[in-house]
Structure 1
């Protein structure tokens, strides 16, 4: 599982996948998952939801969320900025769903058809005509989903603080990054930071930093050209031994095993280039 902060700039992306397993991240986009087969646990700000076949899971902009795979899944994932669905911007700003999980939503034939058609239409190089057609199906999806959602006001203060901390970690993960150092640099009480990480991410600050570094290490290992020791130092670990232990904990294999599997074309969870 990878852990990262993500800031996407594409208008609309559609992914079809078989392993819904991505670590804590946030972005300024709306993220919608339609589960076709299998199951996964979805987490929004540390609250857990079981996503099963036929369910739809929606995450609003700047909500911290992650997934843990349960079985081999088949899912469709839509990712787009709120401005792309301009008719719904007023519902997305300053609000969050009471529950992001809509059980059996894909039993609605119109909603299922819109998901399925969007997945078939999408290409990264889609022209303006194709993108407008795709947007039409997105409007159907959003309309059917918002008929079922209940919304409540969000807490912008906590969100801004979490964003500040995650941005700082992303910019400085190569350096020594202790809780006390971050608290001092950002002028935020270290106990409050610990409280926010437990509440919003469901993990401690140290766990987040180690897993963030491991996620970045995956990128470097996939690119190749660096030794394990070089990768370890490049992402901020104090020793190769510490790096190996953390990597095995979060990925399930050692860095050398991961590198070998990648070079052999074996699939390990992809690096942090998707949700």
Structure 2
């Protein structure tokens, strides 16, 4: 297998402009750890992230995928494995895909530091591209299609079959990995899993209460974390401060209302957590390069 960096062509900002990524919630059923997505001829999806592993097979044409603000171009027949927590999006020029998403803890169970689990950890610790010839040689596409067929057919026992086939797929992928696997678990799957769970909980709290006058102390109290440690951990994981994430989410919601609503800009500002028009204008301009009224005029609506 080859690291995805081999396919990186440049900054995505040069292609699509600056886009904010948000946590994707409700990705799959709580009681079933696998999700299958089969896309149409063209597929677009905004920047997002989640704690699950994502395996993307390019069934037709090619794919242009943003990975952490860099462009990854894939050819037909290739597979990309996206590690947990990685910000990614699907850009124009992406054809038909077969995507399998699964939760790590389904495979690691109660012993995330065992030798086989460490092999899995090594496999998903980076974004990996598998060339088409290797995909074909190892029958990886056929294995993914078999999982998808079980999901679409939904015959009795299909969930068991999907789990069994996913195990087979992961074993095949692990055996493609070159080199020795780690035998220990210092700062490994155990701590990483807790870190993702913590960051996910913070993001969910922010996105559910963004319309309220939140302060850093409120967020720290809710998560039972020291606010300085909270800020450090969040910045390391998401590349921005907690308040930046909150403000960008507020602005993203406000932009939809500016485009589709008839309310005044002040009403929209207050409904999205800003206590006055000046702070809304200032923060909106920081992330968009224009004021809310200018944004509304550009969209063909009348500023109020």
TM-score by length of 2: 0.59
Equivalent residue, structure 2, for 1:13: 36
1:180-210 Cα distance to aligned partner (Å, 9 max, x none): 4423444423322221122111112222112
Alignment pair present for 1:34 and 2:74 = no
Equivalent residue, structure 1, for 2:12: none
Query: 1:195-206, aligned counterparts within 5 Å?
Result: 195-206=232-243
Contact 1:118 1:137 in 2 (8 A): yes
Distance 1:159 1:82, change over 3 A: closer
2:174 to 143, 146, 150: 146
2:99 to 61, 77, 81: 77
Alignment pair present for 1:248 and 2:288 = yes
Query: 1:193-272, aligned counterparts within 5 Å?
Result: 193-217=230-254, 227=263, 229=265, 230-238=267-275, 239=277, 241-242=281-282, 244-245=284-285, 248=288, 254=295
Cα distance in 2 for partners of 1:106, 1:52 equals 13
Equivalent residue, structure 2, for 1:265: none
Contact 1:40 1:50 in 2 (8 A): yes
Question: Secondary structure of the equivalent of 2:155?
Answer: helix
Alignment pair present for 1:183 and 2:192 = no
Once the two structures are TM-superposed, the CA of residue 42 in structure 1 deviates from its matched residue by 2.1
Distance 1:170 1:42, change over 3 A: same
Equivalent residue, structure 1, for 2:14: none
Question: Secondary structure of the equivalent of 2:54?
Answer: strand
Contact 2:43 2:91 in 1 (8 A): no
Equivalent residue, structure 2, for 1:273: none
Once the two structures are TM-superposed, the CA of residue 160 in structure 1 deviates from its matched residue by 4.3
Contact 1:41 1:70 in 2 (8 A): yes
Distance 1:147 1:247, change over 3 A: same
Distance 1:231 1:111, change over 3 A: farther
Equivalent residue, structure 1, for 2:155: 129
1:57 to 81, 99, 103: 81
- State the Cα RMSD in Å: 4.3
Cα distance in 1 for partners of 2:173, 2:299 equals 39
Question: Secondary structure of the equivalent of 1:236?
Answer: coil
Distance 1:31 1:219, change over 3 A: farther
Contact 1:40 1:70 in 2 (8 A): yes
Q: Which has the larger radius of gyration?
A: 2
Alignment pair present for 1:111 and 2:136 = no
Question: Secondary structure of the equivalent of 1:147?
Answer: helix
1:67 to 79, 88, 100: 88
Please identify, of 181-190 and 192-201, the stretch whose mean Cα deviation from structure 2 is larger. Answer: 181-190
1:31-72 Cα distance to aligned partner (Å, 9 max, x none): 2223562433324xxxx776431241233xxx4221156763
TM-score by length of 1: 0.64
Cα distance in 2 for partners of 1:89, 1:185 equals 29
1:50-106 Cα distance to aligned partner (Å, 9 max, x none): 6431241233xxx422115676323432234568xx6x3449956644633222344
Higher relative contact order (CA 8 A, sep 6+): 1
